[in-house]
Structure 1
Amino acid sequence: MKTEVRGNGGSISLQNPSLFNTPLDPITGALKGCLGSLDGACIEKLLLHCASALENNDVTLAQQVMWVLNNVASTVGDTNQRLTAWFLRALISRASRAVEGYGKVHILDFSITHCMQWPTLIDALAKRPEGPPSLRITVPSCRPQVPPLLNVSKEEVGHRLANFAKFRDVPFEFHVKDDDPCLSNETFATQFESLLTQLTRSQLDLRDDEALVINCQNWLRYLSDETKGNTTTVRDAFLDVIKGLNPRIIVVVDEDCDLSASSLSSRITTCFNYLWIPFDALETFLPKDSRQRLEYESDIGHKIENIVGFEGFRRTERLESGVKLSQRINDAGFVSLPFCEDTINEVKSLLDEHASGWGMKREEDMLVLTWKGHNSVFATAWTELED
């Protein structure tokens, strides 16, 4: 699947135009209502409003909706997944600097966020004094069946991003890297191992004149860290494959907890000492009878069940701590890139203003989001180690 937008050219043909025929509610009604309950349905509604406004050339409403989207991007899923959105500005800042001077940017997006973070990057690229580069985003068709879930196809997400990019006058392409259709009923692990063989420069149509950015957000944890005989782990194999693609920068974001131990007692102890954070955060921000809170707590409960109740390929939650995963990435031949002080101060300011209880610190080149002083989510940036 491919979606292309070139500047202010012709309109984009949508696979399901009826999705955008819903009458627009006033901004004071629909959008303020969404701000009170930032669930998946609300995010989808905001995207629909934005696309509809663009289709109807309602610039004022489109700008209002985009402002909301840029401020609540990725706020679906459990508490820690939603709060990775606070890293968005820092990561976008780092990725933007890494591709300075390039007229073409290609992002391989391995994440569970349904591309919700990319409107902010598109907006940042559109503000370049020399004009925006062309932007390509490629996503895999397979995805772990974990929250946040969205009742919209990847192709439809691509069309909505294309509308957004068109509005910001950023040349844009969106591709879905399809799996073998024979594997459609197989597990994510099986589908991804098949996809791994397709991650080559030729099959991804990588071009020498573009800056390649690889985004791994809440993704590596779902790649097996178990060896089979003398073979390498899928996690290490993935790192080897993406190294061969010669990326300009790799961004890694995940929860800062080590749940990869083979010992059940170790996983129970670590799980108990970490997963109080989302429960405590929910206690702080949502009332006990909130439907949203019950859904998030149910998601956390399913995560605990997987960590404790299953072994082998059925145990899909295999988090590594930021320090442990950073060592793995370093061993694969990458070197970390530090975040600049201005970026760190900007994120700290955002947290102080909008998220009481949350803080941020730096551990070497790793940014760490904290809840009441306890590590919650980490973010790192990497590039290939030069020989």
Structure 2
Amino acid sequence: MKTELRGNTTSISLQNPSLFNTPQSSLSGALKGCLGSLDGACIEKLLLHCASALEHNDGTLVQQVMWVLNNVASLVGDPNQRLTSWFLRALVSRASKVCPTAMDFDGSSRIQRRQMSVTELAVYVDLIPWHRFGFCASNSAIFKAIEGHSKVHILDFSITHCMQWPTLIDAVAKRPEGPPSLRITVPSCRPPVPPFLNVSCEEVGLRLSNFAKFRDVPFEFNVIDDPSYLASTEIMPKESSHDFHFESLLNHLTPSVLNLRDDEALVINCQNWLRYLSNIEQKGSRVQDSSLRDAFLRTVKAFNPCIVIVVDEDSDLSAPSLSSRITTCFNYLWIPFDALETFLPKDSRQRIEYESDIGHKIENIISFEGLQRIERLEPGIKVSERMKNAGFLSVPFCKDTIGEVRSLLEEHASGWGMKREEDHMLMLTWKGHNAVFATAWVPSDLQD
């Protein structure tokens, strides 16, 4: 008879059920006193011991720790229990790869990523200010940067399907001098990460066009076609392939393909995007001895944009060490789990689905290595260093932008806050913990 461990929708069968007839006192000393504990520090310790056991191919200890974690984990428990359930799932997935003789992983139990309608995506974005913070800060900075320009072109690199642009369209429609002609260009490929939408880029563009027409804003929407992007004909990318052909996309980022025009103010918008570009040096390619991340920044700088916006989560999840990633990830992704606890019931479907999308990220961070690990987040300070090395200068956010962001946060739970860091960076915080950063940049040679 097999002892079965079910974490969320993941199922593993442990091949030595007698291990779990062992009394707690005989478990590894590192596990003593942890059984049933919901303390975050103890859970983190268990996760690190599991990681260490995996790295040393100690299948017995892996099974023991997972058993303890399974007694703590719950999809409908408190934030620590819910977060633990997703870490357990990620560790089970990793264990099935490195210890196949110790456990049988049912790969068919992988969660099917849900596709949202545009209306559902709007609700998703509004749930907590995780995305709206960046939208608000970015749109305000863009609005200021394009003052006096009659034509504007935005290159939009983001994962949220253009959800920030209706607000900007509405803002420019109210300009005293009249709205500019607005052109938005998006890539056909995107990282295979939630949120997923059940309509195409072209349909999103059509909806934006209709809204712009309603607001009397001249508007054009374009998609950068990349024939090498295998998933371009699929609404939802295959999770197992992690298809994100960015090096090919980089070859398509040229003035002619983008139809850049001298009479337009060019805006580069990067929302939760840079982390998915490899920060590993690529040798033997056209970006010789450089990462795709740096190559992208050099490419967009050459376009002489009037402003570059970079928004992302403020955490370092790019370490090669599994233990380091577990520690950072556990202490960082506690934030959205705790924030959702403040206003949604434990059995809320909306809450469970939102947490499932965070679980997707956890699985990639913990379970995968090499090119399959696409979640390589860098903190704001490190990103700022990259921007400066690429030839950009930071632009501090003005008082109006700060005021707009504060007004936005007043719509959400009292735990959300904002602070300035490094003089140029706006930081979204939850109970004092850094969550999301927003920065604005210009090419250094555009400054007086």
TM-score bracket, shorter-length normalisation: 0.7 to 0.9
Q: Distance in 1 between matches of 2:116 and 2:360?
A: 21
Q: Deviation at 1:43?
A: 4.0
Selected match of 1:285 from 343, 367, 370? 343
> How far apart are the structure 2 equivalents of 1:45 and 1:319?
26
Q: Deviations over 1:256-291 (max 9, x none)?
A: 101011121211111121111111112112111011
Contact 2:229/2:245 (<8 A) preserved: no
Match in the other structure for 1:167: 214
**Residue from 367, 374, 384 that aligns with 1:309:** 367
SS in 2 for 1:275: helix
Is residue 144 of structure 1 aligned with residue 191 of structure 2? Answer: yes
- Matches of 2:406 and 2:229 in 1, distance apart? 47
Q: 1:182 to 1:189 in 2, by over 3 A?
A: closer
Q: Does 1:44 align with 2:119?
A: yes
Instruction: Report the residue type matching 2:169 in the other structure.
Output: I
Q: Relative to structure 1, is the Cα distance of residues 357 and 191 closer, same or farther in structure 2, using a 3 angstrom cutoff?
A: same
CA distance in 1, matches of 2:124, 2:303: 28
Measured against aligned partners, the alpha-carbon deviations of 1:166-204 in whole angstroms (never above 9, x if no partner) come to 001010000010011574489666522111011111111
Residue in structure 1 matching 2:200, options 117, 139, 153: 153
Indicate conservation of the 8 Å contact 2:228/2:248, yes or no: no
Aligned to 1:197, what secondary structure does the other structure show?
A: helix
Task: Classify 1:94/1:264 alpha carbon distance in 2 versus 1 (closer, same or farther; 3 Å).
Answer: same
Q: Establish whether residue 346 from structure 1 lines up as the match of residue 397 from structure 2.
A: no
Pairing partner for 1:372 from 431, 437, 440: 431
Structure 1 residues without counterparts, runs of 5 or longer = 1-38, 47-68
Q: Quick check: which has more Rg, 1 or 2? A: 2
1:142–1:188: 8 Å Cα contact kept in structure 2?
Answer: no
Compared with structure 1, are the counterparts of its residues 156 and 42 closer, same or farther at alpha carbon in structure 2 (3 Å cutoff)? closer
Distance 1:315 1:370 in 2: 27
Q: Are the aligned partners of 1:74 and 1:117 in contact in 2 as well (CA < 8 Å)?
A: no
Q: Write out per-residue CA displacement over residues 115-134 of structure 1, whole angstroms, 9 at most, x where no aligned residue.
A: 01101111111111111110
TM (norm. structure 2) is 0.68
Q: What letter matches 2:198 in structure 1?
A: N
- Please show how residues 190-209 of structure 1 align to structure 2 within 5 Å: 191-209=245-263
| Shift, 1:375, TM fit | 0.2
Partner secondary structure for residue 257 of structure 2: coil
Identity among equivalent pairs (%): 68
Q: Report whether the alignment pairs 1:381 with 2:381.
A: no
Is the alpha carbon distance of 1:102 and 1:318 closer, same or farther for their aligned partners in structure 2, counting shifts above 3 Å?
Answer: same
Is the CA contact (8 Å cut-off) linking 2:155 and 2:269 kept in structure 1? yes
1:143–1:188 Cα contact (<8 Å) kept: no
Q: What is the root-mean-square deviation of aligned Cα atoms in Å?
A: 2.1
- In structure 2, the residue corresponding to 1:212 is in which secondary structure? strand
1-side partners of 2:269 and 2:204: how far apart? 17
5 Å-filtered alignment, 1:19-30, equals: none
- Does the residue aligned with 1:109 lie in a helix, a strand or coil? strand
SS at match of 2:256: coil
Unaligned runs of 5+ in 2: 1-113, 233-237
Counterpart position of 1:253:
311
Q: Which stretch has the larger CA shift, 223-232 or 374-383?
A: 223-232
Kept after mapping to 2: 8 A contact 1:105/1:134: yes
Residue 107 of structure 1 and its aligned partner are, at CA, apart by 0.3
- Matching residue's letter, 2:119: E
State whether structure 2 residue 269 is matched by structure 1 residue 211. Answer: no
